[in-house]
Amino acid sequence: MDNKISTQAKGELIRVLGQRYRKSSKTAKTQILDEFIAVSGYHRKHAIRLLGKTDNSCNRSNSCEVRHSRRIYDEAVKEALIVTWEAADRICGKRLKAVLPDFVDAMESHGHLNLDPEVRKQLLKVSAATIDRLLSPIRNPSQSRRKRRRSTKVSKQVPIRTFADWNGPNPGYLEIDFVVHCGGFMTGSFIHTLVTTDVSSGWTEFIPLLVKEQSLVVEGLDAIFQQNPFPVLGIDSDNDSAFINDTLLKFCQKHHVEFTRSRAYHKNDQAWIEQKNGAVIRRMVGHERFSGIVAGQALAHLYQAARLYVNYFQPSFKLRKKTRNGAKVRRTYDPPATPCDRLLSHQMVDDQIKEKLRLQRKQLDPVELLHRIRQGQSALSALTSTDCSIQGPGRESLEQFLTQLPRLWRDGEVRPTHRSKSSKPRHWRTHKDAFEGVWYEVLNWLQQEPETAAKSLLKQLQYKYPGHFADSQLRTLQRRVKEWRKIMARELVYACME
């Protein structure tokens, strides 16, 4: 049967079937309703409303009821509400509703309001929710709510994966993120490090990008995929626009890589990569600002040595399970192992991949890699520091570096990128010397009696110069006397050596 019938025919059909529908039983109503829907094409709920109305006169094409405005409170009520709200010191709707009758009575009795009886009736009848709704445009006109980020077409195509959805995946599922080298200031251009880490083994790769741009992100991921010893099966990113775009989505579809994303404002969804950002990248590079081609080349040179050193020779803990007992959380970790060891022990890794890993690990020298890392850190430190006299491990040859290893601990921080700037020794005084005018007298006393204690010397000064020296200056005098005794001791030593 053709559903496209005229409006006049629909009106006649509603009048005829409406009378039968309202007088029929429940079973008969269902049959009449099914026939009417089949003929008219209306939605079932709309058809029930049409057939159930007593007056079915229809003057519209799609609806028989004339809609009227549902607005109850006019401008007079709103104006009275604003005045009362201001008089109540701009309290919230629930509190204002509770005090509204008393406020209106008090303001009318003191001549501040003269409300029409109908307006007064409507004002006292208004609910707390309606008060907040009417006052919302004027309550905070300068403070706009944070606009909720609209989900783009690409973000709808990328499914969300939370921290609880991994369930021990096989090697090949990576979390990806950026580490910014802005030095604490996000203005201007600076280098971003693209970091990927395998959830199963912890294998971490990183590459510097001069600009955070989606085409460069794809090129960086392509280079990282080639460096990974295992095939990449999936990537999980945050909601950065450099990741959530058509370019990266097509790249994943082309390489048959599963693409997922974390929830917004939930960093724990990417706990694996967030941990590596601090334990690997920040530990290697620090928090200084790097920009330009030269800094990018220095970072790339550092990363080529660091990726091998971290993945083959740096063991890490991996969380096995986490249990909560009240307020106490107990975490259980697997024994520390390098990412290479985890790949070698995993059953789903191909034997050819394991053989390549063993061969490459056998050829690598960890001390030589560490020396290259220190050289890269020295180059980065030279880019950010104006003090050319700063020396650090890594600028010398490998043999010299080996000879320094047993005593590097004496120097404290050995990473050039994390060393604090050397401060020049202070040679000036910050306070006036309290013993400047009487020091020659103190020296005479010491010449006569070298064993005299500084406390006795201070008492002599206080007795001779009342009110000039306080007990709090004893420590200063003790240091001065101690320095004098050191000088006299050196003279005695040198005199014996002549």
Q: How many CA atoms lie within 13 A of 412 on its CB side?
A: 5
Tell me, what's the pLDDT at 71? 59
pLDDT value at position 384? 81
Q: Is the pLDDT of residue 60 over 70?
A: no
Query: Contact at 8 Å (CB) between 158 and 244?
Result: yes
**Percentage above 70 pLDDT, the chain:** 86
Asked if residue 172 has pLDDT above 70, the reply is yes
Contacts of 179 (CB under 8 A, 6+ apart): 192, 193, 195, 206, 277, 281, 282, 285
CATH 3.30.420.10 domain residues, the chain: 160-354
pTM of the model: 0.58
Measuring CA to CA, which residue among 358, 368, 225, 354 is closest to residue 306? Answer: 368
Give 400 or 156, the one with higher predicted confidence. Answer: 156
Distance CA 267, CA 418 (A): 26
Q: Identify the pLDDT of residue 421.
A: 66
pLDDT tens digits, one per residue of 174-195: 999 999 999 888 888 899 999 9
Residue 248: is its pLDDT beyond 70? Answer: yes
Q: What type of residue is 282?
A: R
Q: What does the pLDDT average to over 469-490? A: 85
**Which top CATH class is 160-354?**
alpha beta
Looking at per-residue confidence, does 68 or 441 come out higher? 441
- What is the model's pLDDT at position 56? 44
Rounded to an integer, the average pLDDT of 77-96 is: 86
Please report the pLDDT score of residue 309 as a whole number: 93
> H/E/C letters for each residue in 293-348?
HHHHHHHHHHHHHHHHHHHHHCCEEEEEEEEEECCEEEEEEEEEECHHHHHHHCCC
Top-confidence residue, 486 or 251: 251
In single-letter form, the type of residue at position 351 comes to D
Per DSSP bridges, beta strands 328-337 and 316-325 are antiparallel
Q: Are 300 and 208 in contact (CB under 8 A)?
A: yes
446-458 per-position pLDDT tens digit: 888 888 899 999 9
Average pLDDT value over all residues in the chain: 84
